[in-house]
Amino acid sequence: MRMKVYGFALIFIAACAVSAWAADINGRVVRVADGDTITVLDAANVQHKIRLAGIDAPEKKQAFGQRSKESLSELAAGKQVVVQTDKRDRYGRQIGKVLVDGQDANLEQINRGMAWFYRKYQAEQSPSDRRLYEAAEDAAKADERGLWRDSAPVAPWEFRQSR
């Protein structure tokens, strides 16, 4: 019995710690670095470097890299956004879903064929986001939108590994 109580207590404490850190960032996009990374300036003039969750866009020197950056710029540059985040990557960037006027910019990058659904990290997404992102990639492939026009597109994680 005592072990069950301790187990529940540990789960409760862990859940509280995660939810205590999880926070929305509200601000204006002041920089688009590439097709999956932006900088957001909040009301306190603090800059937040954001890596879009659930997607991986072509690298700058890769086919469609510049076009992917332009696409994200069209979606978010200079606009007010809400970033739902609860994690940082190894480079210190916050990982999050970027909402522009309620629209999921991460999902839209996939819809446009400007990013892959990053299945490696799908366990960190909600089940509904996983389904949406996967369906968006399938539709972009079928319609040959964006990078899917290429006869043999190279995923960014493969491109990075080859360098």
The residues near 55 (Cβ < 8 Å, ≥ 6 apart) are 36, 106, 109, 110, 115, 116, 117, 118, 133
Catalytic: 51?
Answer: yes
Per-residue model confidence as pLDDT tens digits over 56-84: 999 999 999 999 999 999 999 999 999 99
What is the reported pLDDT for 7? 47
Domain boundaries, the chain: 23-162
Q: What is the pLDDT of residue 23?
A: 86
Residue 4: predicted pLDDT? 53
In 3-state terms, what secondary structure has residue 47? strand
Question: Does residue 59 have an active-site annotation?
Answer: yes
pTM of the model: 0.85
Smallest Cα–Cα separation from 52: which of 76, 30, 70, 28? 76
Cβ-proximal residues to 36 (8 Å cutoff; 6+ apart), any chain: 51, 52, 55, 56, 57, 68, 72, 106, 109, 115
Chain segment 35-63, per-residue pLDDT in tens? 999 999 999 999 999 999 999 999 999 99
Q: Which residue has the higher pLDDT, 3 or 38?
A: 38
Q: Which fold has domain 23-162?
A: OB fold (Dihydrolipoamide Acetyltransferase, E2P) (2.40.50)
Q: From its phi and psi, is residue 144 left (phi > 0), alpha (psi between -120 and 50) or beta?
A: left
Predicted pLDDT of residue 2: 54
Res 133 pLDDT > 70: yes
State the alpha helices, DSSP H only, in 35-155.
65-76, 105-111, 127-143
> Could you tell me what percent of the chain has a pLDDT over 70?
87
What's the CA gap between 147 and 149, in Å, rounded? 5
**From 70, 93, 130, 158, the catalytic residue:** 93
Q: What is the mean pLDDT of the chain?
A: 90
| Number of Cβ within a 10 Å radius of residue 36 | 28
* Choice among 2, 28, 31, 59 that is catalytic: 59
Q: Which position among 2, 28, 31, 51 bears the catalytic label?
A: 51
Which helix (H) or strand (E) element contains residue 17?
helix 2-21
| pLDDT on residue 1 | 58
